Amino acid sequence: MSRVVRFRRFACILLSVAGMCVACAGAWAAQPAPLGQEDLLWLRRSGFGIDSTTLARYRDLGRERYLDALLAGADDTLPPAVARYLAALPALSTSPEALFKDFVQRRRALQTQPAGDAHAAAKRALLRDGRRLLGQAQQAVMLHAVYGANPLKEQMVWFWLNHFSVYGLKGRVRLFAADYAEHVIRPHALGKFRDLVMATLESPAMLEFLDNAKNARGHVNENYARELMELHTLGVDAGYTQQDVEALARILTGVGIAPPGLLRHTGAPLPPGAVREGLFYFDPRRHEGGDKRLLGQTIHGGGFDEVEKAVDLLVRQPACARFVSRKLAEYFVADQPPPALVEAMARTFQRSDGDIAQVLRTMLTDPAFTDARMHKFTDPVRFVTASMRLALDGQPVSNAAPLVNWMKQMGEAPFGRITPDGWPLDGASWSSSGQLAKRFDIAAIIGSGRHRLFEPAQDDADEAPPAGGTVGRPARAVPPTLDTPLFRQTLAPWLSAATREALAKARNAQEWNTYLLASPDFNTL
C-alpha cells in the first residue's frame, strides 16, 4: 500500500471522528452514524464480537427489544453452509448411544484379538476415531460461537461449558463431547439453573469425567459430589463440610451410564426404581439406601428422588445464588465486579428460582454493565470469535480446524481443561507476555489470510498443528479487508490515540489488520 493511500485512509478515520470527512462524504452519506461508546460497549460485552447482522438488528430493534429477543433464546440459526458443515460431522450426526455401542464393540474385539500388527492397527484406529470425534465437537463449539444468530446465547453456552467443564481426552468423554454441548448445555443456557444442573448430572460426559459412573453402594466415589458443591453450585467457601460431601456422594450412588448389556437389550424390563434416558441410567441396585443428612436437612432414603431433592436443596441455597451471580459478573463485566451488581443479580436468582435469563437481564440493564471504568481483558475465545465476526462478517468458512488450532495454541481449547474448575475468568491469566506474543501471532495469521479457513477440510486427527496453527500451508494468502463500514460504524470512532498511531504506521493491509486485532482497544472490553 502506498504512503498516499495509507494517508488517505487514516485521514478518513480521523476526520470521521469530528464529523468532517469531506473526502469520504459521498461514501459515508449512506452509512448510519457510528455507534455511541456505551452502545458499542454493551454490544461487545453482551456478544461474541460484532458483525453486520448483529449491528443491524440492534439498530432496528433498539437495545430493550434486542435484549428481549436475545433472552428469549430461541434463535440458534446458523448460515446454511455452516449448518451443512456441522450436519456432516459424525460427532453431531450420530447419537451418543450409537457411538458408545460402536466403541464398546470395537474395544471388545480388541480384547479378544491376539497381539500383533493387526491388533496395534485396530487400537490406533480406535484412538484416532475418538480424537476425531473430539475435534469435531471442538469445531462445532467454535462455529456456533462465530456464526450463531444469538451472540449472548453463544456466550452463555461457552460460559456453562466452562462452568460445568469436562475434559475431552479423559476416558470416553470424547464420544459424548458434541452431545454435551448441543443437547445438554445449549437447551438450558438461558433457562432454569436447576434444570441445567440436572442435565449435566445426567450426562454421560459429566458422569464419565468426574467418575460418578463408578459411584456405587459399597464403593462410594466422592469426586463428583465434591465438585457439584464446590464448582457447580455453592463455591468453595460456602460452609459445607466433609460430612456433606460424603452424604451427597451416597445420594449419588447408582447414578451412572447404561451398561453395554442394557444397550444390547433395549426392550428388556428395568428393575423397580430404575431410571433410564438415553445413556443415563440410575440403577437402584447400586444405590445406597437409608436417610442422609445434607446441609442440615434430612434426605429420606428412597431412589432417584433423593438426587432431585439434593439438587433442589443445593440450588436454592443463598450461597449458590451469590456464587453463580459473581461468576457471571466476573466473566461479563470485570475481574472484580461491583458488589452491588452481584448482590442485585443474586437477589434476582433467588426471586426467580434460578432463572438464568432474568439474572442476565438484571446484569445487562445495570449501569455497571456499560461503565467504561470497568475493564475486562478478553480471553482467547472472545478474541478469536470477535476477530472472526469482524473479518468474516458472516461469510462461511469451509474448514473450521484452524479455529480450534488457534484456541489450542492460546491454551483455551474447548474441552481442553484437564482439571474440573474450567478455564480462568480473570484477565491476568490471559495477558502474560507469552500469551500476548501468541495472540499477536494469531492476529498476524488472521490479518494476513495465511490460514486454511476457505480450503477444503482435511482429516488431521493424527497430525499435530505446526506453529502457524494449521496443517500444511495455504495455497494462497489474501489479507481480509477489516477497514470496512462495519469497522467504521463500531470500533473506529473510539480507538485510542496509541492504536490510531500504530495503524497509521502500518505498511500494508496485513500489518494494519494485525495491529488492529492485537491492539488493546480490540482486546479489552
Give a three-class secondary structure readout of 62-74: HHHHHHHHHHHCC
Question: pLDDT band at residue 48, thresholds of 50, 70 and 90?
Answer: very high
> Does residue 176 lie within any of the structural domains?
yes
Residues 365 and 296 in one domain: yes
Prediction pTM value: 0.91
Q: Strand runs (DSSP E) across 290-446, as ranges?
A: 292-294, 297-299
Residues 254 and 318 in one domain: yes
Residues 358 and 497 in one domain: no
Residues 281 and 417 in one domain: no
Whether the per-residue pLDDT at 467 is higher than 80: the answer is: no
Whether the per-residue pLDDT at 19 is higher than 90: the answer is: no
Residues 327 and 436 in one domain: no
Whether the per-residue pLDDT at 278 is higher than 60: the answer is: yes
Please give the Cα distance from 63 to 48 (Å, whole number).
16
Residues 322 and 447 in one domain: no
Residues 194 and 218 in one domain: yes
Residues 167 and 82 in one domain: yes
Residues 340 and 409 in one domain: no
Range of the domain at 414: 380-455+478-523
> Does residue 463 lie within any of the structural domains?
no
Does residue 415 contact residue 140 with C-beta atoms inside 8 Å? no
Residue ending a domain, choose from 314, 348, 370: 370
297, β-bridge pairs: 294
> Does residue 482 lie within any of the structural domains?
yes
Residues 128 and 245 in one domain: yes
pLDDT at 30: 60
Does residue 350 contact residue 318 with C-beta atoms inside 8 Å? yes
> Does residue 398 lie within any of the structural domains?
yes
Q: Which of 8-17, 97-106, 458-467 bottoms out in mean pLDDT, i.e. has the lowest?
A: 8-17
> Does residue 117 lie within any of the structural domains?
yes
Question: pLDDT band at residue 9, thresholds of 50, 70 and 90?
Answer: very low
Whether the per-residue pLDDT at 18 is higher than 90: the answer is: no
> Does residue 434 lie within any of the structural domains?
yes
pLDDT digits (tens, 9 = 90+) for 241-277: 999 999 999 999 999 999 988 877 777 788 999 999 9
Q: Tell which residue, 36, 37, 35, 17, has the closest CA to residue 372.
A: 37
Residues 316 and 400 in one domain: no
As given in the structure block, the three cell numbers for residue 294 are: 445434607
Residues 357 and 389 in one domain: no
Helix (H, G, I), strand (E, B) or coil at 213: helix
Please give the Cα distance from 349 to 315 (Å, whole number).
10
Does residue 174 contact residue 216 with C-beta atoms inside 8 Å? no
Whether the per-residue pLDDT at 474 is higher than 90: the answer is: no
Q: In the Cβ-directed half-sphere of 149, how many Cα atoms lie within 13 Å?
A: 14
pLDDT at 291: 97
Residue 394 C-alpha from the chain's centroid: 19
> Does residue 189 lie within any of the structural domains?
yes
Please give the Cα distance from 50 to 151 (Å, whole number).
9
> Does residue 226 lie within any of the structural domains?
yes
pLDDT digits (tens, 9 = 90+) for 187-229: 999 999 999 999 999 999 999 999 999 999 999 999 999 999 9
Number of structural domains found in the chain? 2
Does residue 505 contact residue 1 with C-beta atoms inside 8 Å? no
Residue ending a domain, choose from 306, 339, 370: 370
Residue ending a domain, choose from 370, 388, 413: 370
